[in-house]
Amino acid sequence: MNIEIIRKGEAAYPAQLLAIKNPPKQLYCRGDVNLLKSRCVAVVGSRTTTLYGRRTGEALGRCLAAAGVTVVSGMAMGIDACAHNGALDTGGKTIAVFGCGPDICYPPENKLLMADIERYGLIVSEYPPGAPAERYNFPNRNRIISGLCEATIVVQARNRSGALITAELAAEQGRDVFAVPGNIDSQYNLGNNRLIKDGATPIVCVDDILEHLGISGAEEEDARRRLSDREFEIYTILKDEGELTIDEVCVKTKYSPSYVNPILAVMEMKGFISSEMGRVFLKRIPCKSSAMEI
């Protein structure tokens, strides 16, 4: 097992972390340590979440990674795992910050995800190999998640979610805090909605965060490059509409179902769309012309 130790004061130590209160004395790393110098955004949220939260977390991971941004999270179940998977799904980069040793998979259910992150991204911990996943380590870990990033996005959080600690730390560190609005009658969205009430910037489309980062059009350029003309036509329609049934896609395009279905199948294999309960939607957050579904 290849674990690299980067100590404070060394050239490889990330400058973003040096600027926070109580930066870790050393980082135990597995994977591509060059990502510590990349442009990073944290995507965090609760372990217990909804379909809306999971879709949004994955979509943000995909969109940020497609734009060349490294997605940082904590590899917890729920939103964290969705953000990592979204980044990896589009061939992008992601960093997982552990609250245990870099060789300990926590939670154990994320063993395959951990292997993918080590292979294509980076695992980081301030705890040495073999250190167990103690409960009190995780709030401490969160300062590293926010500290590596210029912005933190809270996707979905209950009222006492650890993601709110990450958001608070990001604000204390002088980093920007964004939150995804959610149903006001859902306990799963109490935390992120209150963040917006308290001054966090709401995200209603992925362009909000990309424009903040000075990035525009990266995702659409990726679609234009990887999709055929007919696929891109359907991509554009779904971008405007948010989601449609297959029959509605046929009406919009004036193509027959026998013509549309194979196109949708290829788009799904390429990772641009997903389908569920007879509806088709982009695996991303709708931009500008279509508000995020609440």
Say what percent of the chain tops pLDDT 70.
Answer: 94
55: left (phi over 0), alpha (psi -120 to 50) or beta: alpha
Per-domain residue ranges of the chain? 4-212, 218-282
Three-state SS at 30: strand
Question: Which residues, in sequence order, are CB contacts of 218 under 8 Å at separation 6+?
Answer: 66, 67, 68, 210
What pLDDT score does 277 carry?
Answer: 79
Where in 25-84 does DSSP place strands (E)? 26-31, 40-44, 70-73
CA distance linking residue 266 with residue 217, whole number of Å: 23
pLDDT exceeds cutoff 80 at 156: yes
Mean pLDDT, range 205-216, rounded to an integer: 76
pLDDT exceeds cutoff 60 at 206: yes
Write the DSSP string, 152-184.
EEE----TT-HHHHHHHHHHHTT-EEEE----T
Find out whether 137 and 100 touch, Cβ atoms under 8 Å: yes
Q: The sheet that has 176-179: what strands, in order across it? A: 4-7, 26-31, 122-125, 94-97, 70-73, 40-44, 151-154, 176-179, 201-202
Range with the poorest average pLDDT among 193-202, 226-235, 252-261, 264-273: 264-273
Question: Which residues, in sequence order, are CB contacts of 285 under 8 Å at separation 6+?
Answer: 56, 59, 60, 63, 203, 205, 206, 292
Average pLDDT, the chain: 89
Q: The sheet that has 243-245: what strands, in order across it? A: 243-245, 279-282, 273-276
Mean pLDDT, range 39-55, rounded to an integer: 93
Give the pLDDT band (50/70/90) at residue 248.
Answer: very high
Give the pLDDT band (50/70/90) at residue 276.
Answer: confident
What pLDDT score does 284 carry?
Answer: 53
What pLDDT score does 294 carry?
Answer: 29
The CA R_g of the chain, rounded to the nearest whole Å, is 19
Range with the poorest average pLDDT among 52-61, 214-223, 264-273, 280-289: 280-289
CATH 3.40.50.450 applies to domain 4-212: yes
CA distance linking residue 245 with residue 44, whole number of Å: 30
| Comparison of pLDDT for 158 and 128, the residue scoring more | 128
pLDDT exceeds cutoff 80 at 292: no
**CA 204 → CA 86, 152, 266, 291, distances in Å?**
18, 15, 28, 6
H helical segments located in 67-136:
79-89, 111-120
What pLDDT score does 291 carry?
Answer: 33
Of 143, 248, 153, 259, the residue nearest 208 (C-alpha): 153
What pLDDT score does 217 carry?
Answer: 59
The helix (H) or strand (E) run that includes residue 244 is strand 243-245
What pLDDT score does 159 carry?
Answer: 82
What pLDDT score does 290 carry?
Answer: 34
Question: Which residues, in sequence order, are CB contacts of 76 under 8 Å at separation 6+?
Answer: 47, 107, 162
Give the pLDDT band (50/70/90) at residue 199.
Answer: very high
With the CA atoms of 252, 284, 156 and 194 taken in that order, what torsion angle do they form, in degrees rounded to the nearest 10? Answer: -70
What pLDDT score does 143 carry?
Answer: 96
Of 35, 8, 36, the residue nearest 22 (C-alpha): 8
Mean pLDDT, range 232-254, rounded to an integer: 90
CATH code of the domain made up of 218-282: 1.10.10.10
Tens digits of per-residue pLDDT, 122-151? 999 999 999 999 988 998 999 999 999 999
What pLDDT score does 208 carry?
Answer: 78
The helix (H) or strand (E) run that includes residue 280 is strand 279-282
Give the pLDDT band (50/70/90) at residue 205.
Answer: confident
